[in-house]
């Protein structure tokens, strides 16, 4: 895989460089609530611009239905990118139409443009190779060189991620090179003890990575909504908590295999419960209570790890040489249920080992809860991509960058 360093050494002055970024940021109307993904791609874009390239930045945002939708416009992301670069960023109001063509044609050396949301065109996500390829052909007309730097999208077989690199000289940007280097530390010659913390809502989202990690990790700590399927699998009452009944047999099999292989599975010993899911808009008091994980009342739902669990998990991470964390421990967006996620983040900060925050809600939680991002070994920009890499899957966007 060639990297941007090799491209810069070859020279890019005057060349149109297409950067497939991941500007898929959360929006409240037109206000960006977390600009982490934009900041992550700035080093690549800035390096190209400083070297005299004409930089064409493209990304998706949200899940529009293959047609323009103002709610998913990249305009706010383009504005924020300009602020971070300290330079004006041109914005094309379409992807491959008149505006994009004119905007790119008008770029001077060292300037940057963002084209509109790639998913406004059905060819971007089409499962039909010909339709996807036709869209990639039109995107290729905008550029001389391709740089892949949208790690959060490399697990998607989309036109701008998979098909376009085949049509242009292609390189990996700084972000993708860094992400791959970090993930290799979690899969090859891992420093031990190796602890993994998995949370989030659904255990079904993590089955593949659990299966893979049973062969590699020393400890697997479970939290979030998925923990209640594990507790149910052990025969405990989980009240009105999130539960995937159909996954109980798989979970029981994982617990059996973990014991057989000597992998320590750590589940909550106490949980914070409430009568119902909290109001995340007003953050009104949710009347929480802490109960033992094996004594949950039938009329309550578990929404966070309890204090004894937080102490237990911190102790299990204290001596880890490598830690990977993906998924919050509770409904961290509400102050009554943020302590479990905060405790895991703090344990990673305190750990002397190499810590990786696996993107998605975990990365958002770190920022929302006020942690210094530099206190972690690495904060990934791609939750789904990170998990699929750890599952051992071939990621289309990375395969496309290989020569």
Secondary structure string (H, E, C) spanning 160-203: HHHHHHHHCCEEECHHHHHHHHHHHHCCCCCCCCEEEEECCCCH
Q: Tell me if residue 208 is catalytic.
A: no
Among 138, 202, 367, 393, which one carries the catalytic annotation? Answer: 202
- Structure token digits, residue 339: 């302590």
Q: How far is CA 87 from CA 83, 105, 110, in A?
A: 7, 18, 10
Among 152, 223, 306, 360, which one carries the catalytic annotation? Answer: 360
Q: What are phi and psi of 89, to 5 degrees?
A: -120, 120
CA angle 382, 385, 390 (to 5 degrees): 120
Q: Tell me if residue 384 is catalytic.
A: yes
Among 15, 16, 37, 157, which one carries the catalytic annotation? Answer: 37
SS3 55: strand
Q: Tell me if residue 202 is catalytic.
A: yes
Angle formed by the axes of helices 36-50 and 174-185, to 10°? Answer: 130
E strand or H helix at 3:
none
- The distance in angstroms from the start CA to the end CA of the chain is 6
CB-CB contact of 96 with 143 (8 Å): no
Distant-in-sequence, close-in-space partners of 119: CB < 8 Å, separation ≥ 6: 60, 61, 62, 63, 64, 66, 72, 125
Among 152, 358, 359, 384, which one carries the catalytic annotation? Answer: 384
Q: Which residues are catalytic?
A: 37, 202, 360, 384
């Amino acid at each position: 895989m060639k990297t941007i360093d090799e491209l810069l050494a070859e020279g890019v002055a005057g060349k149109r460089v297409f950067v497939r970024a991941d500007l898929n940021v959360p929006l409240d109307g037109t206000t960006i609530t977390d600009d982490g993904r934009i900041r992550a791609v700035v080093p690549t874009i800035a390096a190209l611009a400083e070297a005299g390239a004409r930089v064409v930045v493209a990304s998706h945002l949200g899940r529009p239905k293959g047609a323009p939708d103002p709610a998913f416009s990249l305009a706010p992301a383009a504005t924020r990118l300009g602020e971070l670069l300290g330079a004006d960023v041109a914005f094309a109001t379409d992807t491959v139409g008149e505006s994009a063509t004119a905007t790119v044609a008008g770029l001077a050396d060292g300037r940057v443009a963002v084209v509109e949301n790639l998913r406004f065109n059905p060819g971007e996500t089409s499962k039909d190779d010909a339709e996807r390829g036709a869209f990639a052909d039109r995107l290729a007309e905008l550029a001389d060189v391709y740089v892949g730097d949208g790690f959060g999208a490399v697990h998607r077989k989309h036109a701008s991620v998979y098909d376009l690199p085949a049509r242009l000289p292609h390189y990996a940007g700084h972000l993708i090179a860094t992400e791959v280097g970090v993930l290799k530390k979690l899969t090859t010659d891992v420093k031990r003890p190796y602890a993994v913390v998995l949370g989030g809502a659904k255990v079904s989202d993590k089955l593949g990575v659990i299966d893979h990690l049973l062969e590699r990790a020393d400890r697997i700590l479970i939290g979030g909504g998925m923990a209640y399927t594990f507790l149910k699998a052990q025969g405990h009452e989980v009240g009105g908590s999130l539960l995937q009944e159909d996954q109980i047999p798989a979970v029981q099999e994982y617990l059996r295999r973990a014991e057989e292989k000597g992998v320590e599975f750590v589940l909550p010993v106490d949980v914070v419960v409430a009568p119902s899911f909290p109001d995340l808009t007003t953050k009104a008091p949710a009347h929480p209570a802490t109960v033992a994980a094996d004594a949950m009342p039938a009329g309550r739902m578990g929404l966070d790890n309890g204090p004894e669990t937080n102490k237990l998990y911190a102790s299990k991470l204290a001596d880890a040489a490598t830690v990977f964390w993906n998924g919050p421990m509770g409904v961290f967006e509400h102050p009554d249920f943020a302590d479990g996620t905060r405790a895991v983040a703090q344990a990673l900060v305190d750990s002397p080992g190499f810590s990786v925050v696996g993107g998605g809600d975990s990365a958002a939680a770190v920022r929302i809860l006020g942690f210094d991002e530099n206190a972690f070994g690495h904060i990934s920009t791609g939750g789904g991509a990170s998990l699929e890499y750890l599952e051992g899957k071939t990621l289309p966007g990375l395969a496309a960058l290989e020569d």
